[in-house]
Structure 1
Amino acid sequence: MFERKSRELPPFGIVLINSHPLYCEGVKAKLKREQNYFIAALAASGEEGLACVRDTSPSFVIVDSDLPDIDSTVLVRELVCRNENVLVLMTGENVQVGNVAEAFEAGASGFVGKMSKPCELVRAMDTVLRGNLYLDDAISHGIKRDFSICKKVRRNLFCNSLTPREHEVMQHLATGLTVQEIAAELFVSPRTVENHRSNLMRKLGVKTPLGFIRFAYRHGLIDLDEN
């Protein structure tokens, strides 16, 4: 179901994929008061959601963890693969550490508890737009602790294939520094930084700087900002 278009829409459109009408109405009511976000389309199933994303090219897709027709993790992976610039948030109830890990592994940029207030989604989107991953405060500290442990294990596995200098360059790239700024920080030439970045992207199997940053956050190669 597509929202009516207007001449002056906020900058960031959202496709909300959720089969629970009351939840959708709550999110819609909250976003009507927001200056930066608007609902571009609503979908009650994964298949319908993919069509909506294709037709509206949103900035965000908000995916329920319990959809009637598809595993939500599979859907997140499909969305990220088909739409490199889209940012995906997942919502869910009775969250376990495995749910969070699988969501980020699939390419989600944030996980918000289903029982949280709609304003939590706004906070999540604001955080993700700054280049950080987001974990809802409603998710227990125990889950965050366990997720951090899993993240550190994945970080150690990947870092075995990276040189110390590559890891250092990766940290700077992920904070948004330019090649020239990193070169000045590390006292090397911009060409050297470019070479390290190319090697990182090749080793990690990504093709764009944005894809690289997402991969690094997703696999715990750089620190997660929990706000």
Structure 2
Amino acid sequence: MSSIFDCGDESQLLAGMRHARQAISRGELIVIPTDTVYGVAADAFSPTAVQRLLDAKGRGRNQPPPVLIGSRNTLAALVESVPEPVERLVEAFWPGGLTIVLPAQPSLVWDLGETRGTVAVRMPEGRVVLELLAETGPLAVSSANLTGKEAAVSALDAERMLGDSVAVYLADGMSRDGIASTIIDATSLVTRGAEPATGGVRILRDGAISRAQLEEVIGDLLEPALDPSEEDGDS
């Protein structure tokens, strides 16, 4: 039986955070409020928990979930390297609605699905989610909805779709704007061996951070817009 906690009530917040931490440690799923939309979360380093997340959403391993982190410093531990333009983007937009895809740190033991050696990372904004991430470490998080349905903008929306597949729901009102994060691919900025990096940054999904905002930070490194039929990203 799932539990729902109102994070606007301090006593429920404390109990909810405790139950959420315990659920994550058991490999169960939780639903959390973020600055974009509600997310369904699992321990990023538990393959069983990640598979449970994919099953709950009705999606395959070919759609691996992004990873949310609680501090900018954690990025360097999860990826192979952090190119200077990415450092600028992190400084400008984290915490916030920008998810960055980079080559994953090869030494990490995890299984997020068919990632092709990459990981999509974001530092969200919001007291509840950041406090939780500080205690749990990185979480695999996807929008709290069934694949093909609208993203949940409240815990009740998420509960109607995901039901008892989720152990704990943390409710914190309606999502601020209900717009998912922008996803960018920065893998081509990473230097491989002696070869210099020659690529740019590609938008995989339009979202909370606009193309104009990205251009202000990295200029011509942002590649031209894709044809809509070619775009990819999380539902």
**TM-score under structure 2 normalisation?**
0.29
**TM-score under structure 1 normalisation?**
0.30
Q: Which has the larger radius of gyration?
A: 1
Structure (1 or 2) with the greater strand fraction: 2
Higher relative contact order by CA 8 Å / sep ≥ 6: 1 or 2? 2
